[in-house]
Amino acid sequence: MKQEHVIKIKEIMNHKSVQETVYLKDHTTFRVGGPASLFVEADNIDELKALMSYIYEEEVPYFILGNGSNLLVSDRGFDGVVIKLTGDFTGLTVEDNEITAYASVPLSKVCLEASNNSLTGLEFAYGIPGSVGGAMVMNAGAYDGEMSFVVKTVDVLTEDCEVKTLTKEELEFGYRTSIFKKENLIALKTVFSLKKGSFEDINAKMQDFLERRRSKQPLEFPSAGSTFKRPEGNFAGKLIMEAGLSGYRVGGASVSVKHCGFVVNDKNGTADDINKVIKDVQAEVKRQTDIMLEPEVIRVGLFD
């Protein structure tokens, strides 16, 4: 990253919450990732607008970091700006049957707030380790539920650094995708539209989903959740298991023997180890079934 960009961004942010060479392994659920050239925390919309205006104008590489739960960051790090939304972007309010949550609020916190207010519709998301912003990008889902079922609107920052409110239809939600995958938009704030329900029923459903996750998923090891998208008419974990890849290992990373849909960092693996497991699994499943598994995990930085 050019030093002139580092100097200018520090000036824009008034040298507040700007760090050089921050290791991203401390900010991802895979617990891997080399240094970011610059790590910036933006506390409010004015700071974010000023920062992004410069980044867009100068074409500085960047990415927005949520909970780091769906990222595989290269061991070589990221030669650009990693932006963490803090301060104002951690707010959450409830009014009638709507919850308004900013991008950096943990999704599980929104679920708990819904439960505490006897609002139903978000139970499926309890235990998903991402942030609200990340959930919008991926249209996060589980147990036959997804964000598109409960989102009313999302406020976004456009490439022109204007705040715009998008409706559910304008968000172009699909299976693990959204308009954020196609356009340079940053999710700022989401309004969830829920329904009144029974506190006991909502809480029981949330606990049931949580127990299912604990019993069937390898939560004891660092991972990024489900590694692959679900192929049409099939299941990634089933295909991987039937291909004889349960427990397949490269270095410190392996296919989970508990759930083959998860690649886990169970022996202090590197990002390259994880990436090699993913690529090998794709190749072998493709060889045996002619189905190419598509990673759900987003790669950041350079890989071999």
Contact, 188 vs 156, CB < 8 A?
A: yes
Q: What confidence score (pLDDT) does residue 184 get?
A: 93
Is residue 17 annotated as a catalytic residue, yes or no? no
Nearest to 196 by CA among 117, 135, 133, 282: 117
Q: What confidence score (pLDDT) does residue 26 get?
A: 96
Is residue 212 annotated as a catalytic residue, yes or no? no
The structure tokens listed for 32 are: 């891997």
The structure tokens listed for 41 are: 């925390």
- Residues 11-64 have pLDDT tens digits of 999 888 899 999 999 999 999 999 999 999 999 999 999 999 999 999 999 999
Nearest to 62 by CA among 32, 84, 47: 84
Rounded to whole angstroms, the Cα distance separating 19 from 14 reads: 12
The structure tokens listed for 258 are: 């508990």
- Which one of the listed residues 41, 176, 213, 256 is annotated catalytic? 176
Instruction: Please name each of the domains of the chain with its CATH number.
Output: 3-88 (3.30.43.10), 91-215 (3.30.465.10), 218-300 (3.90.78.10)
Whether 201 shows a pLDDT value over 90: the answer reads yes
- Residues 253-269 have pLDDT tens digits of 999 999 999 999 999 99
Place of tokens 């039937």: 242
Is residue 131 annotated as a catalytic residue, yes or no? no
278 CB-near residues (< 8 Å, 6+ apart): 72, 227, 263, 295, 297
- Which one of the listed residues 131, 226, 254, 256 is annotated catalytic? 226
